[in-house]
């Protein structure tokens, strides 16, 4: 039973890292593709410099969509951000339930 919980914790951690990495990349793509077009960044800046601030960066998606109503790539990125936010909540909640369950058992 304990090994199963450890495997679940590791899988949740992996899913969380992958979801947050992709979320950071997509938010950077939106920001530098539609908001700050003057700043040119390299591919290394997109994939190499993951700052936790990008996860919590506030972007007004409604304003972007009203300014670019026919941009299908922007709509796809915004939907991906919404999905990745939900996906990143799931492993955290599963891990929290496991930790709280283990604390209650002790």
Q: What is the pTM of this model?
A: 0.85
Confidence of residue 106 (pLDDT cuts 50, 70, 90): low
Query: Where in the chain are the domains?
Result: 2-105
Structure tokens at 72: 């299908």
Tens digit of each residue's pLDDT (9 = 90 or more) over 34-84:
999 888 787 777 777 777 888 899 999 999 999 999 999 999 999 999 999
Asked if residue 28 has pLDDT above 80, the reply is: yes
Q: Would you state the pLDDT for residue 42? A: 79
Across 30-67, b (16+ Cβ under 10 Å) vs e yields bbbebeeeeeeeeeeeeeeebeeebbeeeeebeebeee
* Residue 93 pLDDT > 70: yes
Instruction: Count how many Cα atoms sit within 13 Å of the Cα of residue 96 in the half-sphere of its side chain.
Output: 7
């Amino acid at each position: 039973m304990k090994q199963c919980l450890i495997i679940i914790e590791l899988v949740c951690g992996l899913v969380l890292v992958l979801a947050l990495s992709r979320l950071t990349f997509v938010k950077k793509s939106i920001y530098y593709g539609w908001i700050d077009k003057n700043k040119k960044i390299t591919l290394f800046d997109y994939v190499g410099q993951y700052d936790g601030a990008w996860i919590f960066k506030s972007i007004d998606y409604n304003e972007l969509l009203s300014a670019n109503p026919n941009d299908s790539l922007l709509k796809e990125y915004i939907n991906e951000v919404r999905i990745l936010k939900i996906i990143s909540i799931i492993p955290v909640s599963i891990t929290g339930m496991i930790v709280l369950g283990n604390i209650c058992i002790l």
